[in-house]
Homo-oligomer: A and B are copies of this chain.
Amino acid sequence: MPADRPAPPRPATLDEVARVAGVSRATVSRVVNGVATVDAALRRTVERAISTTGYLPNSAARSLVTRRAGSIALVLPEQGRMLGDPFFGRVVDGVLGVVRPRGVHLVLTTAGPGTGEQVVADLRQGRLDGAVLIHTHSADPLPALLTASRLPVVLSGRPATPTAITWVDVNQTAGAALAADHIAARGRRRVATISGPLDTPAGQDRLAGFRAAMAAHGLPDVPHAEGAFTGESGAAAVERLLAEHPDVDGLFVASDLMAHGALPVLRRHGRRVPDDVVVVGFDDSSSALACDPPLTTVRQPVEDMAAEMARLLLDQVDQPGRPARSVVFAPTLVVRESS
């Protein structure tokens, strides 16, 4: 029978430090919080007392009076999607980079039924100071819930309906144009595209951006098939496209996942990639690398975007009345073997 480990002793409190230093609690508090108007000698005394007592401020007591939890939530899309994707880690990394130096905790959650209400409750209970929402589906009630509660939130991606909410996004139009320019530079003239769902901002913007850019290259009427950002929908869409336009030699697919579904279909129809058809995706997700051949794709500066979201959120926490803002980042093209 192993010896029970004694519970750790309670840390010292402010009064204990005050007693040791021979001053009042208020003075100790001032020293702890770095208030400038404390006599240098006294400060020294207090600091000594702090280190001899091993004092650490109790966070609950502090939160109770400051009304700050000192932590924000990161809400990721439901389990399936993101968990495997390196994208996930890049987001965490970006957020942690700005949050940690400020001593703010990152609480991780995945979206699901009831998550919205839970997050709102946590915010109202003072357990959370704000939330960063990653890629909520357009049907997701979460953003609405949070904005309605007038609580600090930042969204990834422009919301479907214009809302007084802060968000960060990549320039979708510019990203699609990058793809278009690349395909044109490869000398392809029989170009088509598989778009995302046209009831989403990303779906719309990527299609519009691609068409506009191709028009600038002298191809005003690029055919397109609509997909749903899933692998299967990509396969189905390319099937339709090939039926109507068997001679395509350049293809922009509005998400890597759809491209991943489309490539095997191309092969089955005897098209070699990139020789017969060059293919460009969007997202630079893990599926871009899982593609055969590896996919040329449009990449978002995920870490930077995540960091910016964190910054915007903390600003919002510090200045509650602040109006909503939005920041748009420039995408880049990652060239691999598919083009």
Q: Are A4 and B89 in contact (CB under 8 A)?
A: no
Bound Cα distance A85, B82 (Å): 11
Residues on the B chain within 8 Å of A150, using CB: 5-8
Set B11, B63, B70, B90: member contacting A83, Cβ < 8 A: B90
Q: Are A125 and B58 in contact (CB under 8 A)?
A: yes
Bound Cα distance A5, B148 (Å): 11
Residues on the B chain within 8 Å of A322, using CB: 4-5
Bound Cα distance A60, B4 (Å): 30
Q: Are B324 and A2 in contact (CB under 8 A)?
A: yes
A 79-115 to B, binary, CB cutoff 8 A, 1 in contact else 0: 1001111101110110010001000011111100000
A38 at the interface (CB under 8 A from B): no
Contact residues of A between 51 and 67, Cβ < 8 Å to B: 56-61, 63-64, 67
- Rounded to whole Å, the gap between the CB of A51 and the closest CB of chain B is 13
Bound Cα distance A18, B4 (Å): 42
- Rounded to whole Å, the gap between the CB of A324 and the closest CB of chain B is 7
Bound Cα distance A323, B89 (Å): 34
Q: Are B107 and A57 in contact (CB under 8 A)?
A: no
Taking CB as reference atom, which chain B residue is nearest A324? B2
Q: Are B83 and A126 in contact (CB under 8 A)?
A: no
Q: Are A89 and B84 in contact (CB under 8 A)?
A: yes
Q: Are B105 and A106 in contact (CB under 8 A)?
A: no
Taking CB as reference atom, which chain B residue is nearest A6? B150
A246 at the interface (CB under 8 A from B): no
Q: Are B321 and A127 in contact (CB under 8 A)?
A: no
A45 at the interface (CB under 8 A from B): no
- Rounded to whole Å, the gap between the CB of A256 and the closest CB of chain B is 15
Q: Are A105 and B82 in contact (CB under 8 A)?
A: no
> Given that A105-B107, A324-B2 are contacting pairs, would A124 and B64 also be in contact in the complex, using a CB cutoff of 8 Å?
no
Set B7, B60, B110: member contacting A320, Cβ < 8 A: B7
Q: Are A149 and B8 in contact (CB under 8 A)?
A: yes
A 227-266 to B, binary, CB cutoff 8 A, 1 in contact else 0: 0000000000000000000000000000000000000000
A164 at the interface (CB under 8 A from B): yes
Residues on the B chain within 8 Å of A71, using CB: 71, 105, 107
- Chain A residues proximal to chain B, CB less than 8 Å: 2-8, 11, 56-61, 63-64, 67, 69-71, 74, 79, 82-86, 88-90, 92-93, 96, 100, 105-110, 121-122, 124-127, 149-151, 164, 289-290, 320-324
Q: What would 7 A/B residue contacts be, using CB atoms closer than 8 Å?
A: A4-B321, A4-B322, A56-B125, A64-B64, A71-B71, A83-B90, A105-B127
